[in-house]
Amino acid sequence: MILILSVLLALAPPTGVIHHGEEILTAQEMILMLNEASVVFVGENHDDSLAHQWELFIWTAMASDDRFLALEMFETDVQEMLADYLAGNLLLEEFLEGSRPWGNYIEDYHPLVEHAVENGYGIIAANVPRRYAAAVARNGWEGLSGIEGGDVFLSITVDSTNESYRERFMATMEAISSQMQSMPMDPSNMYRAQLLKDAVMASSIAGRSCLFICGSFHSDERSGIPDQLESDVIYLTVKIVGEDEPWDADQADFVIVR
């Protein structure tokens, strides 16, 4: 606790108002509460610079030998390469060449990774490799049987009982479809691919304490990845609201608003 407080006192939080139910908290109060959870999800809009500032602040404040950083932005099949980079066995250029980083990786996520490198902390490449999610989006669960290595993901337990999550996903797909004039794939299969992503990301952190950075849809309303966790996992959620994005305090345990 003394170490946590000393780190917090040395950090200046980004701008934003932190809502916790009907309460307004300081950044220091939020961090102290987050540290009580085994898993903390931080939901972002991927192109939101303020979200990335908050993620670095939270990770810097919470990182420890016992708490991993889990990233949706890396897929499970690059875990070994990520470990090699963390250990200093790969140059940055080699790591970037082989790990399929997102286009905004260097600016927005690399500072998180470098904090782990500098302090010897662990990172989890959490997401399902996109070829498997794409196979399910095209052909449903049967798509995994027709792709090499897919049987591994067929063995993962997927909880599909959260009807509210399904309704929110389908409403989002309908909105996208109206914008695009046509939906290229069956929305039900696209939802199955979403569930696969959630289930794989949950399984990737099984038994570990972590700070999990993900798109906000994967953790809003304590749904998505949280639905796929073991029932005894203690977790909390943070949502960083995008500019002009509607919000309410029920979207996460902690909602950070500009």
Residue 164 lies in a domain: yes
User: Is 10 a member of any domain?
Assistant: no
Give the structural domain span for 163: 16-257
pTM above 0.85, yes or no: yes
Give dist(CA 98, CA 77) in Å, integer: 11
Mean pLDDT (the chain) is 94
Number of H helices, E strands in the chain: 10, 8
Whether 6 is covered by a domain: the verdict is no
Q: Is residue 37 part of a domain?
A: yes
**Number of structural domains in the chain:** 1
Identify the pLDDT of residue 178: 66
If phi > 0 it is left, if psi is from -120 to 50 it is alpha, else beta; for residue 100 that is: left
The predicted pLDDT at position 22 comes to 96
Determine, yes or no, domain membership for 8: no
Q: 3-class DSSP state for residue 17?
A: strand
Give domain status of residue 96, yes or no.
Answer: yes
In a domain, 4, yes or no: no
Residue 1 lies in a domain: no
**Residue 73: is its pLDDT beyond 70?**
yes
CATH of the domain at 136: 3.40.50.11550
Helix, strand, coil: what percent of the chain each, to 5?
50, 15, 30
Helix (H) or strand (E) holding 37: none
Residue pLDDT, tens place only, 160-219: 999 999 999 999 988 877 665 555 678 999 999 999 999 999 999 999 999 999 999 999
77-111 pLDDT, tens digit per residue, is 999 999 999 999 999 999 999 999 999 999 999 99
Please check whether residue 207 is in contact with residue 65, taking contact to mean a CB–CB distance below 8 angstroms: no
The mean pLDDT value for 124-131 works out to: 98
Closest CA to 39 of 184, 248, 214, 164: 214
**pLDDT, tens only, 6-62:** 555 567 999 999 999 999 999 999 999 999 999 999 999 999 999 999 999 999 999
